Each structure stands twice: as structure tokens, then as C-alpha cells.
């Protein structure tokens, strides 16, 4: 056994005979010759402290053992939302997004990857119907990135530097926006009403100025409330010469009005609710939409896939619209930057919308509203437990436990012991609300799930 | 084959000596999904609401004020389930993923095998059905894998801590630029240090993301051998220097052996050094960021660590930093107290966040599994074979008429930026023509990033995943096209001939009156009259 004849299954040319043959062909005596440019003092002398290789069978056992230390939202009843939501994923979505053609493709040209261009063009087109606008981009990293970019777009269009952002957005999203828009733009927060959770119009009026590039608010808000004053906010922004940017949960749009129809100039949101599993937060994927106005289109940093004729009549072709906008073409002189983002989730969201159709989107939206209202009502019937805001909501709502004398933390720990993941604890980011938690109820929750939660909380408080 | 008496055709051996593949891509003439709509059809039913819920709350939507009730249903197509499947399956056949072609034509992107076992892992509910805000006690397996992968990447890079939050190489570059800014601000030099030095061979996002963070971009020119010019760098650094960001090897595949002198020059001027390790595949176990003097580096998990590219994401740019910079990382970070894994949110100078929650955990899981499948020896083997494959390819391509590889000759690491300048001068055939013709032989071929410092460029990166026979096949296709260019250039210029579609009339895509970014825009802009 002098020669190790081992070739790793992932590395065909690690077979010794092949290695020799290739080295001979190129006139090198050993692999070392290839690395001759790397000086001795930069060479890694020690062997890396990484465990020895596992065969596929060993790997499967090992990784499964680790994964079995996780408890899933399917094995428990979960009411966690806050930017990553449990929704029903039709099997069709999994089937298409696991096709090797899509999974293993990357940056092919319209000639060998025409299907990728078409699938993303269709995704853009399907989301466009939902938001009632004519332009949608190839997805960004997530909603936070989409919002950040929408705000930078607005600042470039208005040539102004101040961004007014409603305070009732996800705290993580706010951090992302702040980092993305600094140092040249400033973010000023607009308060929300304690009664309803909606944007405080007076605070908005006081803060609008000739420096305001954009007003950003969400509907529904992070705290769940439906923002009924959308048109008023948009009108105020426009009167000040600012752009109105609205963040939206797309699964609400089967029943809720599209923001374009109450004054939004730029709409953004997350695609994860549309057929993408939560993946521990890895399912997030952002979209941006605008009207088909060149002033707006030319400010997108993202790829925009368009449909176009080919040399052969009667054939669809696809390609990049206004590619010269992008950093791929112009580096630092392009709009922001573009690269790998979340294309596969975009294709998947397209499959979801095509599968659900207009009726499915209306039904799922209505079903969510019914279940979440039922849950809020039942929870509010528990002594000391009440819904925080007097406002309509879509799928999330804030439950106030202050009167129970118990902390959200204790309640959630007690719920966890019963196999229930309680609502997201808001006390750290919104201490002014008291002992409040954000509950998320969607079409995946049965009446039994909700009743189980209510009974458990009754017993805990 | 006939079997009746006296007419039996004997099975004949099929000669397999043709050099290029006889290929024709699937062409389905598939309509856009909206054209499939048949009112009344649907693809899936939604979960029904229990009667008692309806009894308790009514229709639910009456809660919405009139102004926020959707007036008309979205104009989505109505398509039954099997038709949806056939539609998307057909258009998927019009995509050449790396499971189908010798994907070495996408240089700088490290197209490699994404092991199937890893896909099974991430599609398990144990990964797919986790919520990022679950109690830490319920995700110990995920946290353990994240923590361990951090340790492995530390071994590979020499850095002290990794964050897996950035969602791609571009976002990792942005994170680096954000840390650079925050670092100088923390030392009271935020306004003063506003210059970011990079090179033309770096990824376009390098310059672009630093510009988003407000830096002025300065390019170090390349010298006649293709190295960043050290003397030029010395003239560029000053008290305004915030950072120097570079890949090594750059996209030329040329390793800069004097890199430590570069980082020393920048450090002496008070700047930070950021290593773009998108091209790390040839260096695993060979050389590291730390010894070369870098303060930060990042690895694209979707490149070097085998996460599939998924048509362009989701991906991960794992960013590693020295201990001094660890408090600047986006949070939270996974730590271990000897008993349990937990999130460390105590990062004093954190830039905040760059991506929601913790980034893309399925990418972390896949990379963890990939590293465990290879071990320390296997990782080094990856690097060595990737470089061997590249030098084999390099040797063969230089024998093709009209092709060259500018700058220093003799060897390259894991990729090469080539040029068809001679081919163009001789025949008029450009790198774009070659690109379209390669499709006819089932190969993807990418030109290069802008600006085209190398004329008529193409960049190939064979990685460890392709066999010698496959490399030969790719070379044969390029050789064939070169011959065509010299003998019958029209066939190259009018390509593709065997693909799904023909040449796109690109002027439409740049004309606001004609571009159609969605189907509804197409319907409006192509309406009769």
C-alpha cells in the first residue's frame, strides 16, 4: 500500500494517475510549482485544526444528530412573526425551487439561461399585479435592504438628505436603514400614537421640511396596526416635495388596498410570506416597485429584467433593462451596488402567486384576518390580558400583559414548557409599551392552536 | 431494431471522437404565465377557516376601513396546479445550471459542485421551519454548527471572529466598508479618513459599496505584470486613507507575492486592510489573510464553500476580522459558554446590522457540512486541484489561435483572465460573439467585469469540480470556435444557432418608451393603435 488511491467524491482529478498526467502535460514537477509565487513566510505551516473528512453516510448521521437538537415551529405551536412569518407553502413552490436547473444556475446569458430570465420577469410581473404598479425589481437581500434602497433612490431623485421614518418599524430594519443611509443621509423618527399604534400625523407635520427626501411608513405596521391614514401621509409628503415610500406585507394585498392607490411613489416589502419557508430568517427577500417613470427606473440599483423581441419574429427574448445604471457597468459611478441577492426566492414567490391566483390571495388574506381577530378576541377575554391598540390589524397584534403582574419573559418561558412559542417580547425595544408581546396568527393556525394558546395563558396568568 | 429472420441489424459501436458536443437546448416556445390564465382555474386551495371563528368575528375584512379595502382583485393568472408545474418545469429546462454544463466559464464565481446531501439537510423541517426569534434553547443544533463553522474559518483565515450576516459578497464588501467607517469614527478620524483605495481588477461592488458609505474611490494602477503597483500605492496613501481593499489573487489569477509590503504601507499610513477572498478557492490550507497583514477578510459561502448559486442568491459573505475589530461586527454573534450556545449582543462599536436576523442560516449549514465532508486534508486538496485544473486549462488555451493571457506568464492560481484581442484583430470576431457561440455547444462563457482592462476578455475558473475530460471538452469548444472564426466568422457572429432563443434586440431594453419590465407594461406598450 504505497500509493494512496483515494479520490474524494467531490474532486474527480484528485485521482493520483490523473494528477500525474496533468502535471506532465503542463511541464510541472509537482503542485508546489504552481504555488511558487507564494513566499515561504506567508505559507501556512501547521495543519488546520479541522476534523478529518466524513463519508456521506457519516456526514448524514452527524448533521442529523445536530439538527435533531433543534425544535421546529412544526413540532410546537408558534406565534412568532416580527418580520419572518409562518405561512402555508404549497408543495408546488418547493418542487420548482428545488429543481437543479434553478438551484445550480448563476449568471448565465439570455441565450442559455432564458428560463431564468423569464422566471424572474414573471415574478416581477406577478408582484406588479399585487402592488398595482408597472415596475418591480429582481429581489434585494430583504425588506430592510429594499427599504434602504428605496430611501436612497428617493434622496437621489429629490436631491435632499433627510429621511422621515415611522418609529413603528422593526428595530433591526431601522438599524439596517441607518447603516445603509449614513453618513450622507439622516434618519429622523416619526412617533406613533399610543392609542392606535399608527403614525402620529402631528409629529409628521412638525418634522416635514424642505430637506425631507422621503417619508417611509409601513402598512400594516411592525406593531400590526393597519395604517388608515396612508393617503393623508402621502399627501403631506408630496406637499412638502418629498417622496412617499410604503413598506407592505404582500400577502395582505389580496384584501388590502395597494399602496400605489393611496399615494405611494415607491413600494417595498418582503417576499418571504409568498411561498418561502422561514429558514431561521434565511427566507427573507426584498422587493421594490414603482410606476414606469424613467426618473424612478433609472435610480434602481437592482437588475430589472425586461421582455424584448429577438431577431426572429414571434419569439420572446429577455434581458437587462438599462444595464448602464448598475454598478456592474459603472462600478462606483453606478447606482449603489448590485450582485448576488435572493433570486431563487423571487422565482419561488412568482410560483406562489401563479398558484394562488386572485381568488387564493383574497381567501388567504381574509382567512388570516379572521383568525387573528379571533385570537386577539379570545386572548383579550382573559382577565388582565388585553389587545394594546384600538385599531384594525392584519395578522399581527400587540398583547399587553402588564395587568397580569407577570413579565412577557416569564409567560413565554411557561408557554415554551408547554410546547408553545409565545409572541415576540417587545419590552426591550419598546419599553414604553409595558409588558407587551407581538403575536402573529396566519392561515396556518387552526382554531385548536389558538384555543390551546388561550387556555395555556389563562393557566399561566 | 428489427428481430425478424435475416434482417437483424447488429448493434454498432458509436464513435465518440467528436470534440464538441452535439447539443440543442430545449426550446418550448413557452408563453408567459399570464397567457395561460383560464378564469375559474386555481392552483391550490387555502386552509379553510373553522365555522366557530367565523361565528365569533364575522368576515374579518369588514374591520378594514373602506379606503383600505382592495377594490378589485389583483390581475393574477388563474392556472390549475399541473399546468403551473409544467410551465415552470419547461422554463427550467431553458436554464443551464452547473448540474448540466461544465460551468468553468463563469470565472470569479467559483462554480463548483453543491453536494446533494447538503440540499437534503437544508430542506428538512429541522432547518426550514425554524423561526429566528425562537428561544435559544430550541436551536442549539443550528447555533452549534454556526459556532463550529466560525472556528473552521478562523483556521482557514487566521482571523479571530466571523459574522455570517452579510447576504452575499457584495454585502460583505459593504460590511467591510461600514466597519472601516465606524472604526475611524471611533478614533475621531471619521471625517478625515475618506479615501478608499482599491484596484480595477476588484469586483465592481468593491468600489460601489465603498462609495455608498461615502468614501472617495482611488484606484491603484496595475503594473506591466498585472500586479497592483506598490510604488503607486506609496504615493496614494496619506492621512486621508481609510482603507485598502484588494483580492489576492485578483481576477487575473495572479498572486501578488509582495502583498505584505502593501498592507504594511497602508497600516503605516493609518488605514485598514480589507481582503476580498472571493477567490479563496485555490488558497485553502495554503496561505491566510492574517499572515498577509489583513485586518478583515470575507469568504463567499456560495463560492468557495459550495452553497449553490440559486440563480443569484440567497447567498452568504462570511466576514472575519481580527480581535481588535470584532466589536464592530454586525450582531448578534454566536458564542459558547462551555455548556450552551448563545447569542452575544454585547458589541460595543457594532455597525448595527446589514441583513435581517442572522443572515442566511441554510448557507451556514451547507458550508458546515461541506467542510466536514472534506476535512483539513480535503480542503487543501480542493485548493491544489483547483489550481492544477486551472494551470492545465491555461496551458491548453494558450495553444488556441487568437487567445492569450496578458501579464506575467508561466503560472496562475485558480483562474485566468484571457484575451481574444488577436482573434478580433485577425477575424473581427469579438468576445461577445464567442460567448453566444459557446451556447451552441452547451457551455456557459462569461466575458469579464467592467472595465475591460484586458481587451476582449474572458475569465475562466475551473475549480476542483471538473474532470480532465470536461476541461478538454471546454477547450475543444473554444478551439472549434477559433477555427470557425478564421474560416467562417459569420457562423460565430450570427450565433447562437442551437439555443433556446435568438439574439435579443437590446436597444428596446434601453428605451423608456419600449422597455417592458413587467407583463402589464408589455400589454400597455404593445397595445394596437
Its ipTM equals: 0.97
Q: What is the pLDDT of residues B162-186, one digit of tens each?
A: 999 999 999 999 999 999 999 999 9
For residue A8, which of B410, B371, B137 has the smallest C-alpha distance? B371
For residue B136, which of B443, B381, B341, B312 has the smallest C-alpha distance? B341
Residues of B in contact with A56 (CB under 8 A): 115, 117, 373
**Under a CB-based contact definition with an 8 Å cutoff, are residues A395 and A442 in contact?**
yes
Q: What percent of chain A has pLDDT over 70?
A: 99
To the nearest whole Å, the CA of A241 is away from the closest chain B CA by: 24
Q: Compare A4 and A428 and report the one with higher pLDDT.
A: A428
Which residue out of A10, A45, A329, A365 would a mutagenesis test of the B interface target, given it has the greatest number of B Cβ atoms within 10 Å? Answer: A10
Residues of A in contact with B356 (CB under 8 A): 83-84, 141-144, 172-173, 176, 281, 284
The reply to whether residue A38 touches residue B287, judged by beta carbons under 8 angstroms, is yes
pLDDT at A2 over 70: no
Q: What is A58-77 written as a DSSP string?
A: HHHHHHHHHHTTB--TTTSE
pLDDT at B504 over 80: yes
For residue A324, which of B204, B384, B379, B132 has the smallest C-alpha distance? B204
Q: Which of A120, A279, A327 sits opposite B362 (nearest CB)?
A: A279
**Can you give the pLDDT at residue B484?**
98
The reply to whether residue A19 touches residue B388, judged by beta carbons under 8 angstroms, is yes
**CATH tag, B378-509:** 3.90.1150.10
To the nearest whole Å, the CA of B162 is away from the closest chain A CA by: 16
Which chain A residue shows the shortest CA-CA distance from B29? A315
Which residue out of B504, B505, B507 would a mutagenesis test of the A interface target, given it has the greatest number of A Cβ atoms within 10 Å? Answer: B504
Which residue out of B56, B69, B129, B376 would a mutagenesis test of the A interface target, given it has the greatest number of A Cβ atoms within 10 Å? Answer: B129
DSSP 3-state of A305 = strand
Query: For domain A91-353, which architecture applies?
Result: 3-Layer(aba) Sandwich (3.40)
**CATH tag, B125-372:** 3.40.640.10
The reply to whether residue A59 touches residue B111, judged by beta carbons under 8 angstroms, is no
Q: How far apart are CA A127 and CA A267, in angstroms?
A: 11
Residues of A in contact with B99 (CB under 8 A): 100-101, 103-104
Q: What is A34-56 written as a DSSP string?
A: HTTTS-GGGB--SPP--PPP--H
pLDDT at B267 over 60: yes
Which chain A residue shows the shortest CA-CA distance from B73? A358
pLDDT at A6 over 80: no
Sign of the CA dihedral A325, A326, A331, A336?
positive
Which residue out of B42, B130, B415 would a mutagenesis test of the A interface target, given it has the greatest number of A Cβ atoms within 10 Å? Answer: B130
The reply to whether residue B372 touches residue A258, judged by beta carbons under 8 angstroms, is no
**Across A420-428, average pLDDT:** 97
Residues in CB range of B432: below 8 A, 6 or more apart: B447
**Under a CB-based contact definition with an 8 Å cutoff, are residues B344 and B335 in contact?**
yes
Q: How far apart are CA A89 and CA B43, in angstroms?
A: 12
To the nearest whole Å, the CA of A128 is away from the closest chain B CA by: 7
pLDDT at A4 over 70: no
To the nearest whole Å, the CA of B455 is away from the closest chain A CA by: 16
Q: How far apart are CA B318 and CA B175, in angstroms?
A: 10
Per the listing, cell 465592481 goes with B204
Which chain B residue shows the shortest CA-CA distance from A413? B135
Which chain A residue shows the shortest CA-CA distance from B168? A340
Residue B489, exposed/middle/buried by CB under 10 A (0-12, 13-18, 19+)?
A: middle
To the nearest whole Å, the CA of A383 is away from the closest chain B CA by: 19
Per the prediction, chain B carries an average pLDDT of 96
The reply to whether residue A284 touches residue B384, judged by beta carbons under 8 angstroms, is no
Per the listing, cell 466575458 goes with B447
Which residue out of A43, A63, A260 would a mutagenesis test of the B interface target, given it has the greatest number of B Cβ atoms within 10 Å? Answer: A63
To the nearest whole Å, the CA of A371 is away from the closest chain B CA by: 7
C-beta atoms surrounding A407 within 10 Å: 14
To the nearest whole Å, the CA of B454 is away from the closest chain A CA by: 15
Domain extent listing, chain A: 77-86+358-460, 91-353
Q: What is the pLDDT of residues B55-90, one digit of tens each?
A: 999 999 999 999 999 999 999 999 999 999 999 999
Q: What is the largest CA-CA distance in chain A?
A: 84
pLDDT at B493 over 80: yes
Which chain A residue shows the shortest CA-CA distance from B442? A112
Q: Which of A175, A321, A444 sits opposite B515 (nearest CB)?
A: A321
Q: How far is CA A10 from each of CA A314, B204, B413, rounded to the nearest angstrom?
A: 43, 31, 20
Per the prediction, chain A carries an average pLDDT of 96
Which chain B residue shows the shortest CA-CA distance from A391? B63
Residue A220: cis peptide before it, omega within 30 degrees of 0 = yes
Angle at B167 between CA B163 and CA B173, to 5 degrees: 75
Q: What is the pLDDT of residues B404-450, one digit of tens each?
A: 999 999 999 999 999 999 999 999 999 999 999 999 999 999 999 98
Q: How far apart are CA B85 and CA B78, in angstroms?
A: 13
**Can you give the pLDDT at residue B234?**
98
What 8-state DSSP symbol labels residue B110? -
Domain extent listing, chain B: 125-372, 378-509
The reply to whether residue B155 touches residue A446, judged by beta carbons under 8 angstroms, is no
Query: Residue B2 — pLDDT band, cuts 50, 70, 90?
Result: low
Q: How far is CA B468 from each of CA A15, A18, A189, B268, rounded to the nearest angstrom?
A: 11, 8, 60, 46
To the nearest whole Å, the CA of A15 is away from the closest chain B CA by: 10
Residues of A in contact with B59 (CB under 8 A): 366, 370
The reply to whether residue A281 touches residue B92, judged by beta carbons under 8 angstroms, is no
pLDDT at B134 over 70: yes
Fold equal for A77-86+358-460 and A91-353: no
Which chain A residue shows the shortest CA-CA distance from B360? A282
Length of chain A measured in residues: 461
Query: Residue B16 — pLDDT band, cuts 50, 70, 90?
Result: confident
Which residue out of B68, B158, B178 would a mutagenesis test of the A interface target, given it has the greatest number of A Cβ atoms within 10 Å? Answer: B68
**Can you give the pLDDT at residue B209?**
96
To the nearest whole Å, the CA of A314 is away from the closest chain B CA by: 9
What 8-state DSSP symbol labels residue B441? G
Q: Which residues, in sequence order, are bridge partners of residue B326?
A: none
**Across B93-108, average pLDDT:** 95
Which cell numbers hold the place of B451?
472595465
Q: How far is CA B38 from each of CA A174, B46, B79, rounded to the nearest angstrom?
A: 43, 19, 6
Q: Which of A135, A184, A278 sits opposite B131 (nearest CB)?
A: A278
Residues A43-52, buried b or exposed e (16+ Cβ, 10 A)?
Answer: ebeeebebee
The reply to whether residue B357 touches residue A51, judged by beta carbons under 8 angstroms, is no
**Across B377-385, average pLDDT:** 97
**Across A391-404, average pLDDT:** 97
Query: Residue B15 — pLDDT band, cuts 50, 70, 90?
Result: confident
Which chain A residue shows the shortest CA-CA distance from B30? A316
The H-or-E segment that residue B295 falls in is none
Query: Residue A1 — pLDDT band, cuts 50, 70, 90?
Result: very low
Query: Residue A379 — pLDDT band, cuts 50, 70, 90?
Result: very high
Q: How far apart are CA B101 and CA B92, in angstroms?
A: 14
Query: Residue B10 — pLDDT band, cuts 50, 70, 90?
Result: confident
The reply to whether residue A134 touches residue B524, judged by beta carbons under 8 angstroms, is yes
**CATH tag, A77-86+358-460:** 3.90.1150.10
Chains A and B: how many Cβ contacts under 8 Å? 715
Residues in CB range of A139: below 8 A, 6 or more apart: A123, A271, A285, A286, A287, A302, A341, A342, A343, A345, A346, A349, B313
Q: What is the largest CA-CA distance in chain B?
A: 95
To the nearest whole Å, the CA of B207 is away from the closest chain A CA by: 5
The reply to whether residue B73 touches residue A359, judged by beta carbons under 8 angstroms, is yes
**Can you give the pLDDT at residue B8?**
64
The reply to whether residue A355 touches residue B44, judged by beta carbons under 8 angstroms, is yes
To the nearest whole Å, the CA of A384 is away from the closest chain B CA by: 21
To the nearest whole Å, the CA of A5 is away from the closest chain B CA by: 14
The reply to whether residue B310 touches residue A257, judged by beta carbons under 8 angstroms, is no
Residues of B in contact with A121 (CB under 8 A): 32, 518-519
Residues of B in contact with A297 (CB under 8 A): 512, 515, 517
Least confident of A121-125, A208-212, B446-450: B446-450
Residues of B in contact with A116 (CB under 8 A): 95, 311
**Can you give the pLDDT at residue B9?**
73
Tell me the whole-structure pTM to 2 decimals: 0.97
Q: How far apart are CA A55 and CA B407, in angstroms?
A: 42
Residues of A in contact with B394 (CB under 8 A): 26
pLDDT at A103 over 70: yes
Q: What is the pLDDT of residues B277-324, one digit of tens each?
A: 999 999 999 999 999 999 999 999 999 999 999 999 999 999 999 999
Amino acid at each position: 500500500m504505497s500509493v494512496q488511491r483515494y479520490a474524494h467524491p467531490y474532486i474527480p482529478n484528485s485521482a493520483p494517475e490523473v494528477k500525474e498526467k496533468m502535471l506532465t502535460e503542463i511541464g510541472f514537477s509537482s503542485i508546489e510549482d504552481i504555488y511558487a509565487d507564494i513566499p515561504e513566510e506567508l505559507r501556512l505551516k501547521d495543519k488546520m485544526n479541522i476534523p478529518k473528512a466524513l463519508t456521506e453516510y457519516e456526514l448524514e448521521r452527524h448533521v442529523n444528530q445536530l439538527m435533531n437538537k433543534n425544535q421546529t415551529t412544526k413540532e410546537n405551536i408558534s406565534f412568532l412573526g416580527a418580520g419572518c412569518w409562518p405561512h402555508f407553502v404549497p408543495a408546488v413552490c418547493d418542487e420548482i425551487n428545488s429543481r437543479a436547473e434553478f438551484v445550480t444556475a448563476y449568471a448565465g446569458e439570455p441565450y442559455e439561461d432564458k428560463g431564468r430570465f423569464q422566471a424572474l420577469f414573471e415574478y416581477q410581473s406577478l408582484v406588479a399585479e399585487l402592488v398595482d404598479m408597472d415596475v418591480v425589481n429582481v429581489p434585494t437581500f430583504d425588506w430592510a435592504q429594499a427599504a434602504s434602497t428605496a430611501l436612497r433612490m428617493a434622496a437621489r431623485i429629490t436631491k435632499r438628505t433627510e429621511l422621515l421614518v415611522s418609529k413603528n418599524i422593526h428595530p433591526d430594519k431601522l438599524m439596517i436603514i441607518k447603516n445603509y443611509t449614513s453618513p450622507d443621509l439622516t434618519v429622523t423618527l416619526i412617533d406613533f400614537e399610543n392609542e392606535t399604534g399608527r403614525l402620529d400625523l402631528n409629529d409628521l407635520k412638525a418634522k416635514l421640511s424642505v430637506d425631507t427626501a422621503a417619508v417611509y411608513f409601513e402598512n400594516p405596521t411592525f406593531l400590526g396596526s393597519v395604517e388608515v391614514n396612508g393617503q393623508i401621509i402621502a399627501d403631506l409628503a408630496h406637499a412638502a416635495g418629498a417622496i412617499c415610500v410604503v413598506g407592505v406585507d404582500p400577502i395582505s394585498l389580496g384584501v388590502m388596498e395597494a399602496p400605489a392607490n393611496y399615494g405611494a411613489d415607491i413600494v417595498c416589502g418582503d417576499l418571504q410570506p409568498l411561498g418561502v419557508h422561514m429558514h431561521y430568517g434565511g427566507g427573507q427577500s426584498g422587493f421594490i416597485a414603482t410606476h414606469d417613470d424613467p426618473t424612478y427606473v433609472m435610480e434602481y440599483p437592482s437588475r430589472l429584467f425586461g421582455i424584448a423581441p429577438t431577431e426572429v419574429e414571434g419569439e420572446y427574448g429577455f434581458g437587462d433593462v438599462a444595464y448602464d445604471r448598475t454598478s456592474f457597468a459603472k462600478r462606483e459611478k453606478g447606482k449603489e451596488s448590485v450582485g448576488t441577492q435572493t433570486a431563487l426566492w423571487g422565482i419561488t414567490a412568482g410560483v406562489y402567486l401563479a398558484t394562488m391566483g386572485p381568488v387564493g390571495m383574497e381567501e388567504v388574506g381574509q382567512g388570516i384576518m379572521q383568525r387573528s381577530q379571533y385570537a386577539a378576541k379570545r386572548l383579550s377575554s382573559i382577565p388582565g390580558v388585553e389587545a394594546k391598540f384600538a385599531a384594525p390589524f392584519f395578522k399581527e397584534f400587540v398583547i399587553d400583559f402588564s395587568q397580569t403582574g407577570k413579565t412577557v419573559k416569564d409567560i413565554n418561558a411557561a408557554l415554551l414548557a408547554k410546547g408553545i412559542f409565545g409572541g415576540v417580547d417587545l419590552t426591550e425595544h419598546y419599553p414604553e409599551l409595558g409588558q407587551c408581546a407581538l403575536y402573529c396568527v396566519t392561515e396556518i393556525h387552526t382554531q385548536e392552536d389558538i384555543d390551546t394558546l388561550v387556555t395555556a395563558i389563562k393557566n399561566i396568568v | 431494431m428489427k428481430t425478424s429472420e435475416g434482417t437483424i441489424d447488429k448493434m454498432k459501436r458509436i464513435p465518440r471522437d467528436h470534440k464538441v458536443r452535439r447539443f440543442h437546448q430545449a426550446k418550448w416556445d413557452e408563453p408567459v404565465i399570464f397567457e395561460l390564465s383560464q378564469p375559474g382555474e386555481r392552483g391550490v386551495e387555502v386552509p379553510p377557516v373553522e365555522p366557530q371563528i367565523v361565528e365569533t368575528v364575522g368576515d374579518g375584512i369588514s374591520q378594514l376601513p373602506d379606503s383600505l379595502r382592495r377594490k378589485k382583485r389583483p390581475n393574477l393568472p388563474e392556472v390549475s396546479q399541473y399546468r403551473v408545474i409544467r410551465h415552470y418545469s419547461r422554463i427550467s429546462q431553458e436554464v443551464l445550471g452547473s448540474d448540466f454544463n461544465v460551468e468553468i466559464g463563469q470565472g470569479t464565481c467559483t462554480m463548483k459542485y453543491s453536494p446533494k446531501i447538503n440540499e437534503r439537510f437544508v430542506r428538512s423541517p429541522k432547518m426550514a421551519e425554524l423561526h429566528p426569534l425562537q428561544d435559544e434553547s430550541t436551536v442549539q443544533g443550528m447555533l452549534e454548527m454556526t459556532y463550529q463553522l466560525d472556528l473552521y474559518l478562523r483556521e482557514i483565515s487566521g482571523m479571530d471572529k466571523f459574522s455570517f450576516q452579510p447576504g452575499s459578497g457584495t454585502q460583505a464588501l459593504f460590511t467591510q466598508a461600514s466597519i472601516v467607517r465606524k472604526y475611524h469614527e471611533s478614533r475621531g478620524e471619521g471625517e478625515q479618513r475618506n479615501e478608499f483605495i482599491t484596484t480595477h481588477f476588484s469586483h465592481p461592488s468593491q468600489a460601489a459599496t465603498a462609495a455608498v458609505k461615502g468614501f472617495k474611490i482611488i484606484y491603484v494602477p496595475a503594473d506591466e505584470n498585472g500586479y497592483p503597483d506598490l510604488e503607486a500605492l506609496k504615493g496614494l496613501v496619506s492621512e486621508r486613507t481609510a482603507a485598502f481593499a484588494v483580492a489576492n489573487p485578483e481576477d487575473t489569477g495572479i498572486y501578488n507575492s509582495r502583498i505584505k509590503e502593501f498592507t504594511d504601507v497602508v497600516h503605516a499610513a493609518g488605514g485598514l486592510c480589507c481582503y476580498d477572498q472571493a477567490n479563496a478557492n485555490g488558497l485553502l490550507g495554503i496561505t491566510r489573510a492574517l499572515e498577509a497583514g489583513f485586518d478583515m477578510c470575507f469568504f463567499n459561502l456560495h463560492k468557495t464553500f459550495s452553497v449553490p448559486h440559486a440563480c443569484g442568491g440567497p447567498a452568504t459573505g462570511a466576514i472575519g476580522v481580527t480581535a481588535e475589530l470584532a466589536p464592530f461586527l454586525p450582531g448578534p454573534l454566536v458564542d459558547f459558554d462551555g455548556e450552551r450556545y448563545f447569542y452575544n449582543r454585547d458589541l460595543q462599536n457594532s455597525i448595527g446590522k446589514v441583513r435581517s436576523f442572522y443572515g442566511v442560516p441554510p448557507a451556514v449549514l451547507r458550508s458546515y457540512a461541506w467542510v466536514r465532508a472534506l476535512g483539513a486534508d480535503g480542503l487543501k486538496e480542493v485548493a491544489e486541484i483547483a489550481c492544477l485544473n486551472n494551470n492545465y486549462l491555461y496551458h491548453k488555451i494558450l495553444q488556441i489561435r487568437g487567445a492569450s493571457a496578458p501579464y506575467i506568464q508561466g503560472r496562475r492560481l485558480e483562474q485566468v483572465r484571457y484575451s481574444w484581442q488577436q482573434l478580433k484583430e485577425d477575424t473581427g470576431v469579438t468576445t461577445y460573439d464567442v460567448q453566444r457561440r459557446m451556447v451552441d455547444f452547451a457551455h456557459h462563457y462569461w466575458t469579464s467585469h467592467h472595465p475591460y482592462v484586458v481587451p476582449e476578455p474572458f475569465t475562466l475558473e475551473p475549480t476542483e469540480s471538473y474532470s480532465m475530460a470536461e476541461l478538454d471538452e471546454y477547450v475543444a469548444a473554444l478551439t472549434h470556435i477559433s477555427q470557425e472564426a478564421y474560416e467562417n466568422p459569420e457562423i460565430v457572429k450570427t450565433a447562437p444557432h442551437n439555443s433556446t432563443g435568438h439574439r435579443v434586440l437590446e436597444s428596446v431594453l434601453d428605451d423608456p418608451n419600449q422597455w417592458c419590465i413587467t407583463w402589464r407594461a408589455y400589454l400597455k406598450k404593445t397595445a394596437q393603435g
